[in-house]
Amino acid sequence: MPKINLYRNISVTFIVFTAMLLSAVFLFFYSQAVIIVTPQSQDIKLSFNLTVKPSTTPTELQSQDIVSGSFLFKEVQGSSTFPVLSTKTASSSVVGTVKIVNNTTHDQALVKTTQLQAENGVIVRTNESVTVPGGGSVTVDVYPKEPDTFTSVNSGNLKIIKLATSLQDKIFAVAESKLAKSSGEIKVLSQGDINRGQEQLKQQLITQAKSELGLKEGEAIMATVEQAITDKQIGQSGDSFNLSMKLKIQYLQMDQGQLTDLINRKIQNSNMSGLKIGNIDINNLNYIILNFYPDLVTLKVNYAMKAILTADNDILNKSNFTGKTADEVKDYLTKTGMVKDLQVNISPYWKKTMPKDEGRIKVIVN
């Protein structure tokens, strides 16, 4: 009996030892890994040309890049004062510019050398003949009557000496800036000054029109200058000029539902495999008008959307990870720019590389 028990104990010990050895060998050669990915949203821009018509058919909506829309018009006008930046060499005689105002209903002709007297008694003369329209004004350069004794004239009204006393409070000159002898450069209005002012005022009026119409910044419009008037003529001196402008604004109102359907169709027909697209938000759409005709408009549309990768994305293919270390996996996924956070777990803990068998790798996308 003692021998039988001894043999039995030896057999049990051998079996246990063998099992432990096999388990150790299994654990040594067997491994598995889990990669947990938190995606980083990506900005994707969808661009296409779009036709907008007053009415569309179901066939057009299903097969063409087209939506229904209304073509509306608005007129805006405004004025603003802009600095004069252009200069010229000053004449030794000219001391500045005055505006002659006519508050009567009749035109008033004034010959060259008409005398204008300031409140301090200094007299200047006009250097050209002008006709001031009733209810209007003109600007004209002036020079001193007595150059040797001339002293500067502050801004303010000047009386037209030879005019009838009864008219002097209705027809008079205004020095909008100081009249003084100048050496070197003086500011004179140029076409470049006018062009600059027109562009700035145009943009101001477009911004005003968009605000009044409730249009988004990305919604393009067509603006046509119908009238632009300055209070000075090219070549006249002065520090600033006033510009009045009238704009005709043409803008679109598109069918939002049809536009959303078209963008969805565009996304479905694009190569977006392995990406999940968020809900369509028309506020993310910008466009420019390519052509504006009476019965249709063509646009260049840019739609910005958010996308995140899904588990079937090619970058998450398990073949990309076999045999790599955890650091190599992290480096590879981080460089794609599509991963916000990730965890790589390899078991058993002493294994340093991913399994070579793809079946032992599990990828989870949060």
Q: What is the pLDDT of residues 306-345, one digit of tens each?
A: 888 888 898 999 999 999 999 999 999 999 888 999 999 9
State the fold for domain 91-183.
Answer: Elongation Factor Tu (Ef-tu); domain 3 (2.40.30)
The proportion of the chain whose per-residue pLDDT surpasses 90, expressed as a percent, equals 49
Lowest mean pLDDT among 21-30, 84-93, 342-351: 21-30
Question: 220-224, 240-244, 318-322, 352-356 — which is least confidently predicted?
Answer: 220-224
**How much is the pLDDT for 286?**
83
Tell whether the model's pLDDT for residue 212 goes beyond 60. yes
Compute the average pLDDT of residues 55-79: 90
pTM of the model: 0.47
The H-assigned helical ranges of 107-253 are: 191-213
> Judging by DSSP bridges, how do beta strands 42-53 and 297-309 pair with one another?
antiparallel
The pLDDT mean for the chain works out to 87
Q: Among residues of the chain, what percentage have pLDDT more than 70?
A: 89
How is the chain split into domains, by residue range? 73-81+190-253, 91-183
Rounded Cα distance, 256 and 164, in Å: 68
pLDDT-derived band of residue 91, with 50, 70 and 90 as boundaries?
low
Lowest mean pLDDT among 26-35, 63-72, 134-143, 281-290: 26-35
Band the pLDDT of 34: cuts 50, 70, 90: very high
Which of 27-31, 139-143, 250-254, 362-366 is predicted with the least confidence, judged by mean pLDDT? Answer: 27-31
- Of residues 294 and 133, the one with the higher pLDDT is 133
Spatial distance between the Cα atoms of 62 and 66, rounded to a whole number of angstroms = 9
Element (H, E) at 8: helix 2-29
The C-alpha atoms of residue 228 and residue 78 are separated, in whole angstroms, by: 10
Segment among 15-29, 36-50, 203-217, 269-283 with least mean pLDDT: 15-29
CA 103 to chain CA centroid, Å, is 45
pLDDT at 362 over 80: yes
pLDDT at 118 over 50: yes
